[in-house]
């Protein structure tokens, strides 16, 4: 949940210097918890994000761990937003389920990104 909220504040486009138009939803049913987020992004961000989410969905836990370690060991270091790009991998490892995501067109520059994460109840 914290990673989702951090992503919203770090990666949402701002309307003003202090306003981040975004949504965060939390729900549950008999078997799972659900986290859903949504925010406005540009198409360059969309392309990069789509690649990472698709890759995360294609990997099992061992593959996700290997990808995580590869990034940690690379020389790329911390990005301009203060992270190493590990959040998606971390969320995928912790949820154990594929991400559901969409990119709905707003206009020629922007789309609205939604992400849904399913997490099984732990008994």
pLDDT digits (tens, 9 = 90+) for 67-111: 999 988 876 655 555 555 688 999 999 999 999 999 999 899 989
* Number of domains present in the structure of the chain: 1
The pLDDT value recorded for residue 22 is 80
Which has more confidence, 30 or 81?
Answer: 30
- The Cα–Cα gap between 14 and 81 comes to 14
- The Cα–Cα gap between 56 and 60 comes to 8
Question: Residue 15 — pLDDT band, cuts 50, 70, 90?
Answer: low
pLDDT digits (tens, 9 = 90+) for 113-123: 999 999 988 75
Residue 61: CB atoms within 10 A of its CB come to: 10
The domain containing residue 73 runs over which residues? 2-120
Which has more confidence, 14 or 76?
Answer: 76
pLDDT digits (tens, 9 = 90+) for 42-68: 898 899 889 999 999 999 999 999 999
The pLDDT value recorded for residue 123 is 59
* CA nearest to 118, candidates 27, 53, 52, 50: 27
């Amino acid at each position: 949940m914290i990673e989702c909220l951090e992503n919203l504040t770090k990666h949402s486009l701002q309307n003003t210097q202090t306003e981040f138009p975004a949504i965060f939803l939390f729900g549950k049913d008999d078997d799972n918890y659900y986290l859903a987020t949504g925010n406005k992004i540009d198409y360059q961000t969309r392309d990069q994000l789509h690649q990472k989410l698709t890759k995360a969905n294609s990997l099992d836990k061992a593959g996700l761990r290997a990808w995580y370690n590869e990034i940690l060991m690379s020389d790329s270091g911390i990005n301009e937003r203060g992270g190493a790009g590990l959040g998606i991998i971390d969320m995928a490892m912790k949820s154990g389920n594929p991400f559901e995501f969409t990119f709905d067109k707003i206009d020629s520059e922007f789309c609205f990104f939604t992400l849904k994460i399913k997490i099984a109840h732990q008994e």
